[in-house]
Structure 1
C-alpha cells in the first residue's frame, strides 16, 4: 500500500494566512481613525459601528453580526457603557439578555468617525478599480458563506 504524500504548505499562498494578514494590516490602518483620538479598541469600534448602523441590538445579536466571541463583545459593551457611549438594559423578554443602544454621545462619535473610516477604506482600496472592488467583495462574501456552511454540523 502506497503512503499518501503530505501536502506541502506554502504559508504565503495559504488562504487563511493571507486573509489574516490582510485583516491585520487593513484593521491597523482603519484603527488609526478611532484609536488614537478616541482610544477605542477594534472591538469597541465594531460595536459602535453596528449599533450606529443597525440600532438597538442584544449582545447575542452583536456576537452574530460581528462574528466576535461572547467575552470580547461583553467586555467592549461594558467599557463603552462606562464611557457613556452605550446604554445596556435588561431585555424585557429575557432577563438574562442585555440590549445595547448608542447614547447621544455614542451617536455623535459614530457620526464623526464613520466618514473618516470610509476615507481610510477608500485609501486602502485606491489601487483597485470599482469593478475590482465589487469582485473582491463578492468573492469575500462567497468565501465567508462557504466557511459558515463548513462550520455547521453535518446532517
Structure 2
C-alpha cells in the first residue's frame, strides 16, 4: 500500500523517504521521487500552464516554446530543445504550428548550414508579453500554499536534485540486489 494515503495524524503525511535504505526497500512505485515529481508536474501543468495556454488559444507545448522564445530568442534549435525539454522532432512540429500562426520563425544558420535558428515574431512577442504577467501570477499563487521556509527548502531541494543528476554528473547505474536478479 502506498504511503501517500497514510497520515501521521498531525495533518502532514508520513514521509516514506525518511528511513530509506540504499536499496530502497519498502518504497512503493507511487512514492518514487520521480513518480511524485511527474505527478506534481503533470497536474500543475494541466491546471496552471494549460489554463493560461487555452486562454490564448495555444497548446501547452506551444505555450512553453513561445514563453522560452520570448525570454531567449533568437536561439539555436538545439538550445531551445535543451532548455524546454523537447526532442528536436517534437519541437519542430510545435514550431511549424507556431510559424503557421505567425508567432515564430526558423532559419538556417548561415555560418553552420546544419544549424537552425529559432526566433519569435513581433506578433509572438506581443502575445507572450500579454501572457507573462498571468503566468507569473499563477506561479505565485501556486507557491502561496507553502510557507516561506517551505518554498526555500523546496527550491533548494529541487535545484540540488537537478544539479546532482545533470550530464556533468551522470548517475551511476544501479544494479538490482543479487536476490532479485534473473
TM category, shorter: 0.7 to 0.9
- Computed over aligned residues only, the root mean square deviation of the Cα atoms, in angstroms, reads 2.1
Q: Which residue of 2 aligns with 1:70?
A: 88
Shift of residue 9, structure 1, vs aligned partner: 3.5
- Runs (4 or more) in structure 1 with deviation over 6 Å come to none
The number of aligned residues is 148
The counterpart of 2:112, out of the listed 89, 94, 98, is 94
Cα deviations across residues 112-136 of structure 1 (Å, max 9, x unaligned)? 1111111111221111123322221
Q: Which residue of 2 aligns with 1:47?
A: 65
- Unpaired runs of 5+ residues, structure 2, are 1-22, 174-182
Shift of residue 60, structure 1, vs aligned partner: 0.4
Higher-Rg member (1/2): 2
TM-score, structure 1 as length reference: 0.86
The counterpart of 2:51, out of the listed 29, 32, 43, is 32
Cα distance, 1:151–1:67 mapped onto 2, change above 3 Å: farther
Cα deviations across residues 67-107 of structure 1 (Å, max 9, x unaligned)? 22222211111111111000211111111221111111100
Structure with more contact order per residue of length (Cα contacts < 8 Å, sep ≥ 6) = 1
Higher helix proportion (structure 1 or 2): 1
Secondary structure in 2 aligned to 1:39? coil
Cα deviations across residues 20-74 of structure 1 (Å, max 9, x unaligned)? 000011101221011x222222221121111111221111011111222222211
Q: Which residue of 1 aligns with 2:124?
A: 106
- Unpaired runs of 5+ residues, structure 1, are none
